[in-house]
Amino acid sequence: MVVSMQIVLDHDRIFGALADATRRDIVRRAIDGQAGVVELAERYPMSFAAVQKHVAILERAGLVSKHRIGRRKVVHTNLEGLRVARRLLDQYEELWRERVERMTQLVRES
């Protein structure tokens, strides 16, 4: 199976971004598209700048986007980014299911 380097980098960015609990929580909170960066920052015991950095990492991974509504920068979860992660996990699940099924068949045959 040939995998393009771009796909690998995309997966690395996505899963690297999701490896942090704060970033996963930001993705969850931003699903409705109403959370501003300021409101998000109020939820965490860290500086505003630290939350901005978390949001920037999520943006680079394609998991959230920001847009302006008046003076607010609103963060919205990009569901397609989450679907990319889901598809990769589904592929791994299928691979392991096939292996377990094959092992089960080998045990039955012996």
User: What pLDDT is recorded for position 109?
Assistant: 87
Tell me the per-residue pLDDT of 52-79, one tens digit each, with 9 for 90 and over. Answer: 999 999 999 999 999 999 999 999 999 9
Asked whether residue 10 carries a pLDDT value surpassing 90, the answer given is no
CATH number of 5-109: 1.10.10.10
CA distance 40 to 76: 11
Query: Which segments of the chain are extended strands (E)?
Result: 35-36, 64-69, 72-77
pTM summary value: 0.80
Burial category of 58 from C-beta neighbours within 10 Å (exposed 0-12, middle 13-18, buried 19 and up): buried
